[in-house]
Structure 1
Amino acid sequence: MPKQTLVFESPVQLSVQNSMLKITYKDDPDNVTLRAIEDIAIILIDNHSASLTTPLIGKLAEQNVAVIFCNERHMPSSMLMNLDANTLQEKYFRLQLDAPLPLKKQMWKNVVEAKIKNQALHLKSLGKKHDRLLKYATGVLSGDSSNREGLAAQYYWRELFGKEFIRDRFGEHPNDFLNYGYTLLRAATARALMASGLLPSLGIFHRNYYDAFPLADDIMEPYRPFIDQIAYKLHAAKKKKLDKEVKASFLELFYTNIPFGEQMVQLGTCLTYTTASVAKFFMGETKNIAYPRVACGS
C-alpha cells in the first residue's frame, strides 16, 4: 500500500491511541479519526494551533515519518525526522565520511547529467527547444567542472518561462510555486535518504553551514523538473495564489506514476529506489544513481 501524506490546516490535537495516530479536531472534539502510522510517509502541519504529544513523536520516528511544520506564510519551514531509520546506518555514515573526492565528483556528474536530461525532456514535452540541453548533458565532466548545470539552468528557465523570468527563491511569481514544491521534495528526499541509512547532512556537492540537508539538496536535483511541470501547468492556467488547490497539486505529484526504467512507479517510491542506489554507490556496488525520467507525453 502506498504511503500517505497527511495535511492539517485546522487546529488539531495529534496523539497516539492503540499505536495508531489519533486525530482530534479542536473545533469539534467529538470528531476523532484514527490512522495507521505505518501507512504514513509525511505529515504536514499548516496551523499554529495544532499540537502533537511526545509519545506520538516517538511513534512517528519509529516509522520514519517526516513531520513538516509551516510558518506564518504557510510555507514549509522546519521538519522532524528519525535519527535511527536503518540498521546499517553506522556503516553508511562511515562510508559517507570517508568517501574520497573522486567518488563524490563522479556521483555529482551522475546527478547533473540526470537533471539536465530531465530538463530537456520537460521542454520537449511542451514542444519547446531542448537540443542544447541534450548537448550539455553529454558534456558533463567529473564534478561538473565545466559548469554544465549552470549553463543548462540559464537556457532552461528562459525557454520555460520566458526571457524575463529569473529563478530566485525570493523572486516574483511563479517562484513561490517552485519554492513550495521544492521544499516538499526536499523533505521527501531527506526521509528516503534516512530510510536508506544515509545521513542527509553530509552532502557530495552542496555545502552550507546553515543547510541541514545538503545531501537531500544534491540527490533531489533530477527530480526538480517534475515540480517544474506542476508549476508550469498552474502558471499556464493563470493560477497566482498559493491556495489549497495549488498545494494539493504538488502533494498529488508524489503519488503520480512516472517512468522509472521500464516501469511506471509512484514518485515517492522512486525516491526510495534512488536513495538505495546512492547507498550502493557509496559502497562501490554501482557507478550509476538510479533516477526516473520525465515523460514526454505528460
Structure 2
Amino acid sequence: MIKRTLFFSNPAYLSTKNEQLVVNFPDEGKKEATIPIEDLGYVVLEDSQITITNGLLMKLVQNKTAVITCDKQHLPCSFFQPLVGHSEQTERMRHQLNASLPLKKQLWQQTVTAKIENQANHFLARGKNALRLKRYAKDVKTGDWNNQEALAAAFYFQNLFELEGFSRNQKGVPPNNLLNYGYAILRAVAARALVSSGLLPSLGIFHHNKYNAFCLADDVMEPYRPFVDTLVYDIVQTGCSLEDLNQNIKAHLLTIPAMDVLIDEKQSPLMNAMSRTTASLVECFEGSRRKILYPEFKTSLETLVN
C-alpha cells in the first residue's frame, strides 16, 4: 500500500478522533478535514504556528508515520521516530553492533557501486556520455578506499545540469536548494524504513559522526539519490525560478516517497523499495545474505532490452 504524504505550510490545529487525523484551520470559512491515520506515511510540518496534540503524535508514531518538522529556511530539520520499531529490535541491533569491519567495507563497496551505476544510468536517460561514470563504478574497491564515490560525484554534478560553474554544495547556488530539500525527504524515508526494520539509524556502515543521529540512513540512501536528482533535473528544465522553494516545487519534491523505482526487476514505490533495502541489510548483518538489495535506475533502452 502506498502511504500518503501530508504537507502543512499554513497555521493549523492538528488533533485526532476516531483514528483520524483532524485538521482545523484558524482562517474563517475553511472546513474541518479528516484523514485516516493508517493511510499516512509522512507528515511534513512547515509553518511555525502549527499546533499538534500529543495524542495525535502518539498515534502517528505508533503507525510508523514519519513526522517531519522544518526550520526557518523551510527545510526539513527533524524526524520523530518510535522507541520500538520492530518486535525483534534488540536482536537485530545486536547483529548490527557486532558487524565486522570487513563486512561493513563490503557493504559500503556495494552501496557506492550501486550509487555510481544509478548516476551513470541517469546520464544515459538524459542523453549524456556515461562511460566515465561506468568506469568509476567498476573501479570501486572494498570500503571504497580509492574514493571513487567522490570522483564520480564531482564529475556527475559538474555535467548534470549544464549550468556554468555549478557544483554540489549545501549552501551553494540553485538548484542546490532543491537538492537539499529532496535529499532531506529521502533521508526521512530511509530513517523510517531502518526503524521499522529494527535497526539503529545512528550506527552507520561508513558514515560516522558523533553529531549525526542518522549515519546509517545516510549510507543506505546513497543509491537512491539519483531518483531525487531526476526530479530536480525536470524542474530545472522547466525554466522556472529556482531561488525560492515555492509550493509547486515542494509539492513536486514531496512525491519522492511514492515515485516508482525498479528493484529486484519489479516496479515499486520508493518508500516500499527502501523497506526492502533495509530488510536485506538486516539479513546481511545476520549472515543469511551477502548483498544489499538496491534499486536500479533503468533507462528506457535498458528496459526494452531486458
Q: TM-score, normalised by structure 2?
A: 0.94
**How far apart in 2 are the matches of 1:192 and 1:176?**
25
State the AA in 1 paired with 2:81.
Answer: M
Count of residues in Structure 1 that have an aligned counterpart in Structure 2: 298
State whether structure 2 residue 253 is matched by structure 1 residue 250.
yes
Cα distance change, pair 249–295 in 1 and its aligned pair in 2 (3 A): farther
State the AA in 1 paired with 2:83.
Answer: L
* Structure 1, gaps ≥5 residues long: none
SS of the aligned residue for 1:254 comes to: helix
State whether structure 2 residue 208 is matched by structure 1 residue 189.
no
Partner of 1:212: 213
The answer (yes or no) to whether the contact 1:64–1:195 under 8 Å persists in 2 is: yes
Report the aligned-residue RMSD. 1.4
State the Cα distance separating 1:212 from its structure 2 match: 1.1
**How far apart in 2 are the matches of 1:29 and 1:209?**
48
State the Cα distance separating 1:126 from its structure 2 match: 0.5
SS of the aligned residue for 2:16 comes to: strand
* Structure 2, gaps ≥5 residues long: 302-306
The answer (yes or no) to whether the contact 1:65–1:82 under 8 Å persists in 2 is: no
**How far apart in 1 are the matches of 2:204 and 2:258?**
27
Partner of 1:66: 66
Q: Deviations over 1:263-285 (max 9, x none)?
A: 11111111111111111111111
**How far apart in 1 are the matches of 2:60 and 2:77?**
19
State whether structure 2 residue 274 is matched by structure 1 residue 271.
yes
Matches within 5 A, 1:116-265: 116-162=116-162, 164-239=165-240, 240=242, 241-265=244-268
**How far apart in 1 are the matches of 2:31 and 2:80?**
26
**How far apart in 2 are the matches of 1:232 and 1:37?**
33
**How far apart in 1 are the matches of 2:252 and 2:87?**
35
Deviates more, 1:288-297 or 1:117-126: 288-297
Q: 4+ residue stretches of structure 1 with deviation over 3 A?
A: none
The answer (yes or no) to whether the contact 1:259–1:265 under 8 Å persists in 2 is: yes
State the AA in 2 paired with 1:225.
Answer: P
State the Cα distance separating 1:23 from its structure 2 match: 1.4
Q: TM-score, normalised by structure 1?
A: 0.96
State the Cα distance separating 1:72 from its structure 2 match: 1.7
Deviates more, 1:197-206 or 1:32-41: 32-41
Question: Alignment identity in percent?
Answer: 41
The answer (yes or no) to whether the contact 1:129–1:159 under 8 Å persists in 2 is: no
State the Cα distance separating 1:30 from its structure 2 match: 6.5
The answer (yes or no) to whether the contact 1:92–1:197 under 8 Å persists in 2 is: yes
